[in-house]
Structure 1
Amino acid sequence: MKAIDHIVITGASIETLSASWETLGFTPTPVAQHPWGTINRLIQLDGAFLELLSVAQGASIPKAHEGAFSFGAFNQAFLNKRQGPSMLVLDSSSPEKDRAAFEQGGLPVFEPFSFARIAKAPDGTERKVGFDLTFTQNPLCAEMGYFTCFNRYPENFWRPEYQQHANTAKKLSSVVLVAADPGDHHGFLKAFTGVGTANLSSLGVSIELSGATLKVLSPSAFESIHGYACPVEGRDMRLAHLEISVTSLDAFKRAAKTDGGYERGGAFVLPADQLLGTGLSIVGPRSA
């Protein structure tokens, strides 16, 4: 069963975006730059991470062309509309198998894409990291990006020192999307995740992945559960909200320097407008 590898969260300024998460007690990795013009910092959790991403000033972003997906161009276009979560990424054990599964599920596929770079650890040592990305697309809407990520050197990528957060954050436990009719996207999500069954209810669609839950809620259900609105247009499906479990909810509140947020359903909720487009539910160990 696949797991969530990471969530791409896009902001107009990497400095402003990073600061918004650091203010909540998260510890992002140092800034790194992709050769195609985007820059990022990562928030490593237990088995998954958040990729804080922006477009470098003056960068020359490669354009997409037929059969090829441009990661940089997609996120640049996303930023022209809004900030926040732009891409949902699952882990991969084989790019070839992912591509075949997407084709079998009737999903579009793009040219294989791979890259590698040298990452510098806090102690100054340099280690090679590399990834193979297998992109696909939701046939009903292209507002969100989807791909799998094969990590060639996980022993070099994951660093214990970057998984220590002052707010005691440990795990990405749920990812919440919003659609006017969640059932419209049921077939795509089954084909993308490879999960043969999904839970359908009056609230929406729920798919159990390895270590996390993927939910698609209607706008009314989302607002009822999380306490703030997330409007969507037409048949769009929008990644709106993340649930992160912490070792201590009290420790999170002490570390988070914010006047916003509220208690709801046993979680501490930060609406999307307080975190540059990303909504958060922080849950303690008893409710995780």
Structure 2
Amino acid sequence: MKLFSLPSADDWLHRIIQQERKMNHPVKGIDHVFLLVSDLDKASERYAELGFTISPRGLHSEAKGSANHTIMFPDDYFELLGLLRKTPGNAGRFEALERMGEGLHAIACRIDDAGEAAKALSDLGISTEGLGSFERPVPLPDGTEGVAAFSTVAFTSEKVPFGTVFMCQHRTRETVWLPELIEHPNSACGLNAILAVSKNPQQDAEAFANLWANSVVAKTPSGAQIQTGKASAVLELLTPKALKETYPWLDMSNLPKGAFSGLRINVQDLDKVKASLDAAQIAAHPTTQGLAVAPQDACGAIIEFVMK
């Protein structure tokens, strides 16, 4: 006869605390990511050559001294962020670009309300900083100009093993998810995974997992993976050896130091990806899942295209 042991009081308490944490945690997944690039014009040209539909340039405030182009999908997106001039407000990003190099610097998380998220996370013992709001003009299809408005708040650096992770509240989704920006010549349709190299993937994965309400950490042959929420890209951490084995053509010196390594993008047709790359004479490296572009050809990020 097989005997089953009941959970101890400590086990029950731990489960209750974890369940309460998930219920009260305000961060529901990954909203978007951004590549910090050295030359925004060249970056937008290159990503158009990779087969993406690029939004018109969005100019940020004088204080931010930056601009961006977005690459939109139905549920998420990524952006190319460029620094136009030095200001007191962007000194940190200029320093990061010089020290770390261009590439995938940041993950932005889904929240409903930035102020409420900061309070809820504080109640859970998770520190944040930099709560604020900003707007940028958006050219609209009818020739008029709209406004894209956001509120953001960041996790403090001690909560994030590497890179930057912040939260983004969209106050005007209708001016960001424009229908004409969602269709791409390469058939891209969403973020599949954010890739990163880690010498201690399990330890780093457990730390990253605290940043999302419904995160699940799984050990993998190459390191560790964090599921970040429903309809949300995973964060995949690979050891340096595993990253090199996965992408044997990779020159790791072309990746940003202390940030993220690249993106895995869902597509509907790999032949369309290959056609875009061939037309631009960009090397397409076969992988076990699809096709990839080296970081020196994609502004410091591995870009891998996989079938959805």
TM-score by length of 2: 0.81
More helix, by proportion? 2
Map of 1:79 onto structure 2: 97
Map of 1:66 onto structure 2: none
Q: Tell me by how many angstroms 1:220 deviates.
A: 1.0
Map of 1:144 onto structure 2: 163
Map of 1:29 onto structure 2: 55
Kept in 2: contact 1:116–1:130 (CA 8 A): yes
From 34, 55, 76, the equivalent of 1:8 is 34
Residue aligned with 2:214, SS:
coil
Residue aligned with 2:259, SS:
strand
Kept in 2: contact 1:199–1:205 (CA 8 A): yes
Kept in 2: contact 1:110–1:136 (CA 8 A): yes
Distance 1:151-1:43 versus aligned 2 partners, 3 A rule: same
From 76, 79, 83, the equivalent of 1:55 is 83
> Which 10-residue stretch deviates more, 37-46 or 206-215?
206-215
Structure 1 spans left out of the alignment, 5+ residues: 64-71
Structure 1: how far apart are the matches of 2:221 and 2:266? 26
Residue 278 of structure 2 is aligned to residue 259 of structure 1: no
From 263, 273, 279, the equivalent of 2:302 is 279
Question: Could you tell me which amino acid in structure 1 is paired with residue 48 of structure 2?
Answer: E
TM-score by length of 1: 0.86
Map of 1:68 onto structure 2: none
Residue aligned with 1:193, SS:
coil
Larger radius of gyration: 2
For 1:23-172, list aligned pairs within 5 A.
23-35=49-61, 36-56=64-84, 59-63=85-89, 72-81=90-99, 82-104=101-123, 106-139=125-158, 144-172=163-191
Question: Could you tell me which amino acid in structure 2 is paired with residue 258 of structure 1?
Answer: Q
Structure 1: how far apart are the matches of 2:28 and 2:37? 27
Kept in 1: contact 2:36–2:81 (CA 8 A): yes
Structure 1: how far apart are the matches of 2:176 and 2:288? 35
From 179, 189, 195, the equivalent of 2:214 is 195
Residue aligned with 2:224, SS:
strand
Distance 1:196-1:214 versus aligned 2 partners, 3 A rule: closer
Map of 2:197 onto structure 1: 178
> Which 10-residue stretch deviates more, 137-146 or 29-38?
137-146
Structure 2: how far apart are the matches of 1:25 and 1:118? 25
Kept in 1: contact 2:153–2:166 (CA 8 A): yes
Q: Tell me by how many angstroms 1:152 deviates.
A: 0.6
Structure 1: how far apart are the matches of 2:188 and 2:241? 29
Residue aligned with 2:242, SS:
helix
Distance 1:48-1:258 versus aligned 2 partners, 3 A rule: farther
Question: Could you tell me which amino acid in structure 2 is paired with residue 77 of structure 1?
Answer: E
Map of 2:225 onto structure 1: 206
The total of aligned residue pairs comes to 273
Kept in 1: contact 2:51–2:276 (CA 8 A): yes
Q: Tell me by how many angstroms 1:237 deviates.
A: 4.8
Residue 45 of structure 2 is aligned to residue 19 of structure 1: yes
Question: Could you tell me which amino acid in structure 1 is paired with residue 252 of structure 2?
Answer: C
Structure 2: how far apart are the matches of 1:105 and 1:239? 26
Kept in 2: contact 1:174–1:215 (CA 8 A): yes
Q: Tell me by how many angstroms 1:101 deviates.
A: 4.3
Structure 1: how far apart are the matches of 2:93 and 2:161? 12
Structure 1: how far apart are the matches of 2:124 and 2:216? 14
Distance 1:38-1:244 versus aligned 2 partners, 3 A rule: same
Question: Could you tell me which amino acid in structure 1 is paired with residue 135 of structure 2?
Answer: A
Query: Percent identical across equivalent pairs?
Result: 22
Residue aligned with 2:115, SS:
helix
Question: Could you tell me which amino acid in structure 1 is paired with residue 180 of structure 2?
Answer: E
Residue aligned with 1:41, SS:
strand
